[in-house]
Structure 1
């Protein structure tokens, strides 16, 4: 088996056909725990999120980004698409998976002290996120035209090092959250080692998964099952 650095495993991709993300299962030779990695884009077709939710419901535990509420990033994308008159990809919605309805426990590394309850509305903090994102998205769509998606860096592999516009933003929104997520996954491995077989679903924005794959494939020695499943988020 080649080291993780040699895999070049694709996690999400943009092509002339659309945007799709993978569902990849990592298995350990001596541990019955499996990680089901589900990088997600925050805007997509309704059936994309339905299929993600259906796969999560088959897991024994879910590790999810943020809290159980609509995605402010996805809402900003959908609003910008509507305001800019973009029609590429057909009818799209923002990410809004009802984790409370899955029927499985949910762990939230980003918000460990938040109540694990469903919120159907954006908070004032979410709205602030929308207000900050909208101008950038509108300019990107106006300048990029039909190619605006290519500029969103949605192509993600385990070899990537996702970065934001500044080092400070990268540290806050990528590095710190990567560390919290990876620490949670390592803890779950330690707690469940030698226990009955169990799938842990991991659903986060795609930019966080290079760090996840490197951590699980490094000292923990997890390896991917042969064939990943691909889900179409946006169909051109």
Structure 2
């Protein structure tokens, strides 16, 4: 099963639903990239409105990793940098329980969605190094990066990443056991590198099956004008 797709025109990620043949709890898996077009994150937020709970990364605030990459792409004058922003999905505005399996105790969401000082400093320090690596490959670093991910993809993981994955899988198992028979939807919004393991857990150990009608969301589009990308839905979030 393909979870993300890199092509000559850009990068996109899937929204896939999983449920057991007998029904009950439905999982929505949304792999993300931490920098992309504003409408990409807005569309994810819209999709989450039908969920009764959301499992997400770290904390309810902007991504420092995404900020570093987005700024580096602009600094290195990358072709894909047009209209790129860092990930900032306002989970709290959904009004449903949000679970952060890998939450950091000192990383607290700001009511005004301002990135914590230490996170911003870290992104600022990282940006020039990323920009240097991007510039060495010309103006099209992103298209030369292999971002095609399937459910069978296996990444080399640092101990910290392994721990985060274990925390994520632990929460999924707990919810799946407690609410197996419930007619409800739980969404998982995590970086794309974490989602192959999630899909293998759902379809392997937990017995779920992917439902037809998976949706694709364009995170980075090299060619399309911004006004053509704006989703035909009511409202617009200010990213």
Q: How far is the alpha carbon of 1:56 from its aligned partner? A: 0.8
Q: How far is the alpha carbon of 1:103 from its aligned partner? A: 1.8
- Give RMSD over aligned pairs: 1.9
Which deviates more from structure 2 when the two are superposed, residues 36-45 or residues 23-32?
A: 23-32
Write the distance in 2 (CA, Å) between the matches of 1:183 and 1:132: 33
Change (3 A) 1:117 1:79: closer
Q: Unaligned regions of 5+ residues in structure 1, if any?
A: 1-8, 165-169
For residues 81-136 of structure 1, give each alpha carbon's deviation from its aligned partner in whole angstroms, at most 9, with x where no partner exists.
22222242531111111111112211110117676764622224313531453244
Write the distance in 2 (CA, Å) between the matches of 1:128 and 1:152: 26
Moved over 4 A (4+): 112-119
> Which residue number in structure 1 is paired with residue 226 of structure 2?
none
Change (3 A) 1:25 1:158: same
The answer to whether the aligner puts 1:27 opposite 2:19 as a matched pair is: yes
Change (3 A) 1:117 1:201: farther
> Which residue number in structure 1 is paired with residue 217 of structure 2?
231
Structure 1 residue corresponding to 2:191, chosen from 178, 202, 205: 205
> Which residue number in structure 1 is paired with residue 135 of structure 2?
142
The alignment's TM-score, normalised by the length of structure 1, stands at 0.86
> Which residue number in structure 1 is paired with residue 159 of structure 2?
171
Q: Unaligned regions of 5+ residues in structure 2, if any?
A: 223-239
Write the distance in 1 (CA, Å) between the matches of 2:120 and 2:199: 32
Write the distance in 2 (CA, Å) between the matches of 1:131 and 1:163: 26
Contact kept, 8 Å, 2:10 with 2:143, in 1: the verdict is no
Q: How far is the alpha carbon of 1:151 from its aligned partner? A: 4.7
Write the distance in 2 (CA, Å) between the matches of 1:116 and 1:130: 17
Structure 1 residue corresponding to 2:180, chosen from 189, 193, 199: 193
The alignment's TM-score, normalised by the length of structure 2, stands at 0.85
The answer to whether the aligner puts 1:109 opposite 2:101 as a matched pair is: yes
Q: How far is the alpha carbon of 1:214 from its aligned partner? A: 1.1
Change (3 A) 1:177 1:118: farther
Q: How far is the alpha carbon of 1:70 from its aligned partner? A: 0.5
